[in-house]
A = this chain, B = another copy of it.
Amino acid sequence: MYVQPVGTLKWELDTPALILDLDVIEGNIARMEEFLRGKAARIRPHMKTHKTPALAYKQLEAGAIGVTCAKLGEAEVMANAGIRDILIANQIIGPIKIERLMSLTTRTDLMVAVDDPQNVRDLNEAAGRWGVRPRVLVEVDNGTHRCGVQRGEPAIQLAAYVAEASNLRLAGVMGYEGFAVFIPDAEERAAAARGAMEILTGAADDCRRAGLPIEIVSGGGTGTYATSGAYPGVTEIQAGSYITMDGRYKSIGMPFECGLTVLTTMISRPRPEVLITDLGMKQLSHEFGMPKVLDVPGATLTRLSEEHGLVELDDPSAVKLQAGDKLEILPSHGDTTINLHDYFFAVRNERLEIVWPVTARGKSR
């Protein structure tokens, strides 16, 4: 890829370009650490948002205790970048993935989620062969109804089963309140998160009463960090999107700033009221609603085809833009938009400071 010189003005960058505003994302990292100051919980930021070791290191330097990954392939990228304390907040299933997991455990202090006794047996058998003892979190379904066991006997039994597995270390429980993170009303969202954390910390207490060692209680997303991160008994939160933010999280009033945009060039103005962008749904996700055009009053992105976007203008005579001019767009969903790009163009004061490959992009295995 042709990269322009450091110092290039943002508006002169070739497009489509995924832009990070470094002052903003550093501010978001600091704001999260400030919130956690004096609290029991720490942050273990989710890598599925940015998939980029350089950003992980910014979070670790600020105080994060490790990283959370959605995929084994993401964890491998982070391990290759030298990060040791890694939670894979998912079930790792099947012989090929379990071998890779054990290989990764030889060089990291890995944690993995389980919700099934057969998977515990498979992990334990492989760990024995590899001479490693990965940490394990029992995933509890605390309201999202995706993976996870139910609180009560199922959670206690599975935790006991892990504790008995000689090659595994029972480290704690985890649960992700995904159902709650986007509830628009802040009070309702907080109530939903409290309910989810009551289930999760309750499951941890159940296990402790059964004599099982539970150190880690891990949950929380960007939408619920303030509730979950302050909830008694929660030891770490897995928020990811807070670092870059996006249109949807901003719309529910999260106290972080949007530091992620996509720069596009207008390739045509076929009619006065229409601009055509050089990006479409292959560069900009829209499952959470249409991304917003920034800084041009009355300009609305109304349609995305694969490689084009249609921007309609309320007042065509007020907008002088033409083919070759640029627009900045705020993604509605940061994580899935980042996943479409190979590079971050990181700017400060509107000038290019550094280009980072999105190293774990596509590492879905």
Q: Could you say which of B94, B146, B268 contacts A91, with CB atoms under 8 Å apart?
A: B268
Determine the chain B residues whose CB is within 8 A of the CB of A147 once the complex forms: 267-268, 270, 276, 308
Determine the chain B residues whose CB is within 8 A of the CB of A4 once the complex forms: 96
Question: For residue A119, which residue of chain B has the nearest CB?
Answer: B323
A interface residues, how many (CB within 8 angstroms): 61
Q: Could you say which of B17, B100, B270 contacts A146, with CB atoms under 8 Å apart?
A: B270
**Given contacts A146-B308, A147-B268, A308-B146, A93 and B336 within 8 Å (CB-CB):** no
Check if A116 is an interface residue, CB within 8 A of chain B.
yes
Q: Quick check: A365 and B308 within 8 Å, CB to CB?
A: no
Q: Quick check: B336 and A306 within 8 Å, CB to CB?
A: yes
Q: Quick check: B70 and A306 within 8 Å, CB to CB?
A: yes
- Write the nearest CB–CB distance from A350 to chain B, whole angstroms: 18
Q: Which of A27-35, A204-212, A337-345 contacts B (4 or more CB under 8 A)?
A: A337-345
Give a binary string over A132-143; 1 marks a CB under 8 Å from any B CB, 0 the rest. 000000000100
**Given contacts A15-B365, A48-B306, A364-B16, A336 and B146 within 8 Å (CB-CB):** no
Determine the chain B residues whose CB is within 8 A of the CB of A286 once the complex forms: 287
Main SS at interface, chain A: loop
**Given contacts A91-B323, A94-B14, A268-B116, A2 and B100 within 8 Å (CB-CB):** yes
Check if A39 is an interface residue, CB within 8 A of chain B.
no
Q: Quick check: A276 and B146 within 8 Å, CB to CB?
A: yes
Question: For residue A361, which residue of chain B has the nearest CB?
Answer: B362
The complex places the Cα of A326 from the Cα of B303 at a distance, in Å, of: 36
24 contacts between A and B (CB under 8 A): A4-B96, A14-B94, A14-B365, A16-B365, A70-B306, A91-B267, A91-B323, A116-B268, A118-B324, A145-B274, A146-B268, A146-B276, A147-B267, A147-B270, A147-B308, A178-B305, A281-B285, A282-B335, A287-B287, A306-B336, A339-B340, A340-B340, A361-B362, A362-B362
